[in-house]
Amino acid sequence: MAFAARALAQTFPSQSPPSQSPPPLSTSDGRAPRLRDDSSIDVDQMRSGLRGADSQSQGSNYGAPLPKTKLPKRYPPARTHAGAPRQPKNPLPALEAYKSSAVARRLARMRRKEGDPAPEIPPTVAAPQTIRAKARPKVETNPYDPVGIGIGSLRLTPFIETSTGYDSNPDRLSSTSNPTGSKLFRADAGFKLRSDWARDDFQADMRLGYADYFDYQQANRPDGAGAFSGRYEITRDTSFVTAGRFTLDTQRPGAPAISSGLPNVTVINRPIIFSVGTSDGVTQKFNRLEVTLRGSFDRTMYQDAYYSDGTSLDLVSTDFNDYGVSGRVAYEVSPALKPFAEATYDTRIHDAYRDPWGYARDSDGVAARAGAEIKISDLLRGESSGGYAERSYKDIRLPQLRGPTVDAALIYTPTPLTTATLRIATTLNETTVQNASGALTHTVTGQLSHDLLRNLTVSAVGSYFTNNYQGADILEKGYTAGVKLEYKITRSVAVKASYSHERLTSNTAGDDYTANVFLVGLRIQE
């Protein structure tokens, strides 16, 4: 307060006489005194006086102000950018709403179209997108298997295979006939068809082939086989099942059914045998119990045999139709075991009531078998059964054709690189051998395959069969042994080589034979 009074006195010296002291700033009771009307103070002059006094006090205490210092230039100089803002090389991922937020639920209900801008998400309910782990590449189990061609929901795998080699006995003649070996060229074509349906199923396989013998033209022959199977589920427990099949083969000139019986008369062609058939039915499930009823039809046709003396054997008249019905009951004990029992009845009716030798060969047959379907993981799977079958002929001179039956189709995979296959089949075949009702045939086929490399497979194959002509006392036994090698260059190209040794013995003179076959070929598949 004293400093303010001195400043007022210096600012306004003429408004009070020199001998007159300034008015007191306060009275004895502590209150501010009243100013007289003629002693009014100019506020602006008072403020300017305060600023002057302050500057005088600064000058006397701190000296002259310091000069301004010039700062150095920035290094490196700041970069300037003109145009649109730069985009980062790796931009941050867009935000996504919390899964439990109302925004996330609202976005889940929205139906966005392709090309619509991404919705804006408020930062209060947003988080960076979750970085998903990169999926590990899948390892293909069979990287050299064909991919196939997609036809809708079906997968078609066609193939063409050509091979050339040498056959030591093209017509499978007895050693007494001095068989002549020949170079040969063989061509095969076919396909596999598989469905990719969720409930129903369809599969088909077909192969057709032809062998051309350069040095022995009368041994040229076709062959082939095919089959298909399908299942259509009408309801959860009821399904329609269907199957079809065909075979194309030829008879060897030394077979008992077409032998002339004369020492110097031989068959000069290979008569063709063609068979085609189908079976359809319904399968009904009662919990674990499964019942199947099928009807079947098969047609078998023969080609005439021609002899070296100009005569022929009428085999066309022996063509026949086979009508049959079968029932099967199975119970699933577990996913690895399903026992079953099956019974079949069929009748065969020939185009001609009597064959060339005067026998009436129309017949009725019954068969029954029991077995089980096995599936022990991928180690062992398949089906095996045993039973009994017999056929009765219209001609009383022909005995019943009967005998035990064994059928099996098993696949054993001890390691991922090794696979063993076993097939056993029993069939009751027609014949034109005099006094014989038919041939009871048992066949056992086995194959062991091992992958030396992922694209190199070696296989050992073998088979054994017997033909028992009941009524004629003819028994044939034969076997085949060989080895195969397959090298897959790509999924579509493979090189193949094989060797097989065939041997047949018979209690009838002149029917046995031996043959060795060498083949090297190329397989092209899609």
Span 39-53, pLDDT tens digits: 444 545 555 554 444
Q: Strands, DSSP E only, in 258-378?
A: 272-286, 289-302, 305-306, 312-313, 320-331, 337-350, 363-376
Query: Which sign, positive or negative, has the C-alpha torsion 337, 343, 328, 444?
Result: positive
CB under 8 Å to 312, separation ≥6 — which residues? Answer: 304, 305, 306
* Average pLDDT in the chain: 85
- pLDDT single digits (tens) 435-482: 999 999 999 999 999 999 999 999 999 999 999 999 998 999 999 999
CA of residue 125 relative to chain centroid, distance: 45
CA dist., res. 385 & res. 367, Å (int): 12
Min mean pLDDT across 256-265, 294-303, 366-375, 423-432 is at 256-265
pLDDT of residue 91: 73
Question: With bands split at pLDDT 50, 70 and 90, how would you rate the model's confidence at 176?
Answer: confident
Note whether 195 and 153 are within 8 A (CB): yes
* Burial class (CB within 10 angstroms; exposed 0-12, middle 13-18, buried 19+) of 395: middle
Two tokens, residue 300: 């078998």
Question: Quick one: pLDDT band at residue 177, thresholds 50, 70, 90?
Answer: confident
- Flag the least confident range among 121-125, 230-234, 408-412, 417-421: 121-125
Cα–Cα distances (Å) from 237 to 50, 67, 260, 282, 287, in that order, read 110, 103, 56, 11, 8
Q: What pLDDT digit, counting tens, does each position of 398-407 carry?
A: 999 999 999 9
Task: Look at residue 8 and tell me whether its pLDDT is greater than 50.
Answer: no
Q: Are 259 and 237 in contact (CB under 8 A)?
A: no
Share of the chain above pLDDT 70, in %: 84
Q: Which residue did the predictor score with more confidence, 174 or 277?
A: 277
- Rounded to an integer, the average pLDDT of 512-517 is 95
Q: Please say if the pLDDT value at position 62 is more than 90.
A: no
What average pLDDT does this structure show over 349-373? Answer: 95
Q: What is the DSSP letter of 499?
A: E
Q: Give the model's pLDDT for residue 140.
A: 80
Whether the per-residue pLDDT at 7 is higher than 50: the answer is no
Has residue 487 got a pLDDT over 50? yes
What pLDDT does residue 14 have?
Answer: 47
Whether the predicted pLDDT of 126 surpasses 90: no
pLDDT band at 414 (very low <50, low <70, confident <90, very high): very high
Q: Assess whether pLDDT exceeds 50 at residue 32.
A: no
- Residue 473: the pLDDT is 87
Q: Out of 2.40.50, 3.40.50, 2.40.128, 2.40.160, select the CATH number for domain 153-525.
A: 2.40.160
Question: Helix or strand or coil: residue 349?
Answer: strand
Overall residue count recorded for the chain in this entry: 526
Global confidence as pTM:
0.73
What pLDDT shows up at residue 125? 66
| Helix residue ranges per DSSP H, 262-333 | none
Question: Residue 130: which pLDDT band, with cuts at 50, 70 and 90?
Answer: low
Residue 64 scores a pLDDT above 90: no
Contact yes or no for 343/320 (Cβ under 8 A)? no
DSSP 3-state of 254: coil
